[in-house]
């Protein structure tokens, strides 16, 4: 039928993780609005480069190709893992929706909990944030930088090349791989990346009709929490490869925020908490970051850069 409404074109990275989480968003949008959604796979620089993400700066390497397709009009909207998004705003693009967050915590995949692994065990993770906090918990283990999708990383444990890997619990849950988790780290043990467990739905700023249409997916509680977390990251002028952890949760009408910057060797940390109104999450994050900078957080991030 020629008068039918065409499906919306959703851009997604091609990995199983990305297409799975994008598919969940597409299904939810169709359920809420009746509008069909077509997934368009996009290969990003972060997917093809062999370089370590920390050397690339981390920020935006999985994002820029999707945003290019958006600006060029080849897709209508895109879905990202929020923790991959740069904190610097692109005025051409708007985050139209942040759906309800999944588990924000980090998880260990391996034969045992972290405390029960033998000294010298090799743990794989490409994240300085995770390494720095793991070194506080188990300084006697060896931490190995790894790349690749979740299936590739899990395979390194199955083959015995590594005794464990640390991944986001949310991603393992979306892939239905929870059975392989030996330990989920509480946020008191390991602060997650700002925005971890949340997704961002982006479209062009010059399409207010689409911004409004996609807003049905937005969860105000999640948006307030991750806005506070990302405000810390932005104020510290740190990219998503920096050893910065932050977690915020709403209780009543108050937002509770904890953030930390940890030296990569785990020897020093600046960790602060604050509470504020959930209607001003950006202020809460900026104020907490200012306190952290006053206590030397910027120095710890600077050490990472050199």
Q: Which residues are catalytic?
A: 83-84, 129-130, 147, 153, 240
Q: Are 224 and 98 in contact (CB under 8 A)?
A: no
CB atoms within 10 A of CB 127: 26
**String of DSSP letters for the chain:** -TTSPPPEEEEEESSHHHHHHHHHHHHHHHHHH---EEEEEE--HHHH--S-HHHHTSTTTTTHHHHHHHHHTS-SEEEEEGGGS-SSPPTTEEEEE-PPP---SEEEESSS-GGGSPTT-EEE-S-HHHHHHHHHH-TTSEEE---S-HHHHHHHHHTTS-SEEEEEHHHHHHTT-GGGEEEE--TTTSPPPTTTT-EEEEEETT-HHHHHHHGGG--HHHHHHHHHHHHHHHHTT--TTSSEEEEEEEETTEEEEEEEEE-TTSS-EEEEEEEEETT-HHHHHHHHHHHHHHTTHHHHHHHHH-
Residue the block writes with tokens 């030296």? 263
């Amino acid at each position: 039928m020629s008068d039918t409404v065409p499906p919306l074109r959703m851009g997604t990275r091609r990995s199983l993780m990305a297409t799975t989480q994008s598919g969940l968003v597409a299904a939810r949008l169709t359920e809420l609005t009746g509008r069909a959604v077509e997934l368009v796979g996009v290969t990003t620089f972060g997917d093809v480069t062999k370089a370590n993400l920390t050397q690339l700066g981390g920020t935006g390497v999985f994002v820029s190709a999707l945003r290019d397709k958006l600006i060029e009009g080849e897709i209508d909207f895109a879905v990202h893992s929020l923790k991959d998004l740069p904190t610097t705003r692109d005025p051409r693009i708007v985050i139209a929706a942040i759906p309800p967050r999944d588990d924000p915590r980090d998880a260990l995949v391996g034969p045992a909990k972290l405390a029960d692994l033998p000294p010298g065990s090799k743990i794989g993770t490409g994240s300085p944030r995770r390494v720095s906090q793991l070194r506080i918990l188990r300084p006697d283990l060896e931490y190995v930088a790894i790349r690749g999708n979740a299936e590739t990383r899990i395979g390194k444990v199955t083959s015995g090349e590594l005794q464990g890997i640390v991944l986001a619990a949310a991603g393992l849950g979306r892939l239905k791989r929870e059975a392989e988790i030996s330990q989920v780290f509480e946020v008191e043990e390991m602060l997650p990346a700002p925005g971890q467990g949340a997704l961002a739905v982006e479209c062009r700023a010059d399409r207010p009709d689409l911004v409004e249409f996609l807003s049905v997916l937005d969860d105000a509680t999640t948006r307030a929490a991750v806005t506070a977390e990302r405000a810390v990251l932005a104020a510290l002028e740190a990219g998503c490869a920096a050893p910065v952890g932050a977690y915020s949760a709403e209780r009543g009408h108050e937002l509770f925020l904890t953030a930390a910057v940890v030296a990569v060797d785990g020897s020093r940390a600046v960790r602060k908490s604050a509470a504020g109104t959930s209607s001003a999450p950006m202020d809460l994050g900026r104020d907490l970051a200012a306190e952290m900078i006053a206590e030397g957080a910027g120095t710890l991030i600077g050490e990472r850069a050199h």
